[in-house]
Structure 1
Amino acid sequence: MDHENSFLGRGWAFPPAFDTKSKRSMMVEEEEDIRQSLFIIISTIPGERIMNPKFGCDLTSSVFDNVDSLAVNRMKDLIRTAVLNYEPRITLHDVVVDTRDSFDGIVRITLDYTIRKINVRTNIVYPFYLKEGTNVTGM
């Protein structure tokens, strides 16, 4: 991996995984670290982290909401607030909530952002599942 952007950070891979040969945890760096950090922020329910109970984004409170403009705007606000508070390495430009598959229990959330230090604009798509028993992390 090119280490010229190493100032963007390095952290454990999400979900945590271990290399059996080196007996070390798998690590991610740079843009991938930021992408995974955003998934962690959006996937974490406030109160899950005992030492940082305000951390996260309470999207699960929207699971049983009618998918209307009020719910969409509430989701966008929850995400904007969480990213503003917990991911200082990016500038969030837009949050787009795609509700086309909401009858199937899926709402796709796209975050359009710029990595501040290197001025690279990118985006992620976070699949938020409205049905029980589905993969919430989307990773």
Structure 2
Amino acid sequence: MFAMSFSGQSRIDNVIDDINQSLEVILTTSKGARIADPEFGCNVWQRLDQPITALPLLIADVINAVNRYEQRITLNQVTPDISQAANGHIHIKLYYTYNNQSFEHVARITR
């Protein structure tokens, strides 16, 4: 039996929503933007201004940032879609595990 919250969502749904929001904040915050923690965030756009050969560095940046700042999950895979980067849009699909269950989240990042 699982517990329900007053909103009608299960507690796990609330936690997953919170994790997904945290992932969005991590990926949309540029490093150096937070004075108290200048390492917080991810340099997504800076990596995209580099040649396409830097795509593995973008993936590594995402993995490092998520592993450092969202420790409730195990990140299994990162798949960036940069096909719309020239139009100012990037989608990064994150596959992760929380509480022995698999989830995926697409972070939609707009410049």
TM-score range (shorter-chain normalised) is 0.7 to 0.9
Q: Does residue 1:108 correspond to 2:110, yes or no?
A: no
Runs of 4+ in 1 over 6 A off after TM superposition: none
1:71 pairs with 47, 54, 78, which one? 54
Which amino acid is 2:101 matched to?
V
- Count of paired positions: 106
Q: Does residue 1:86 correspond to 2:88, yes or no?
A: no
Cα shift at 1:103:
4.4
Report the structure number with the largest CA radius of gyration.
1
Aligned to 2:45: 60
Over the aligned positions, Cα root-mean-square deviation in angstroms equals 2.5
More helix by share: 2
Change beyond 3 A, Cα 1:71–1:127: farther
Unpaired segments ≥5 residues, structure 2: none
Does the aligned pair in 1 maintain the 2:95–2:105 contact within 8 Å?
yes
Looking at structure 2, the residues matched to 30 and 2 of structure 1 have their Cα atoms a distance apart, in angstroms, of 12
Looking at structure 2, the residues matched to 103 and 56 of structure 1 have their Cα atoms a distance apart, in angstroms, of 22
Aligned to 1:39: 24
TM-score by length of 2: 0.79
Which amino acid is 1:124 matched to?
H
SS of match in other structure, 1:57: coil
Cα shift at 1:63:
4.1
Unpaired segments ≥5 residues, structure 1: 9-27, 130-135
Cα shift at 1:121:
0.7
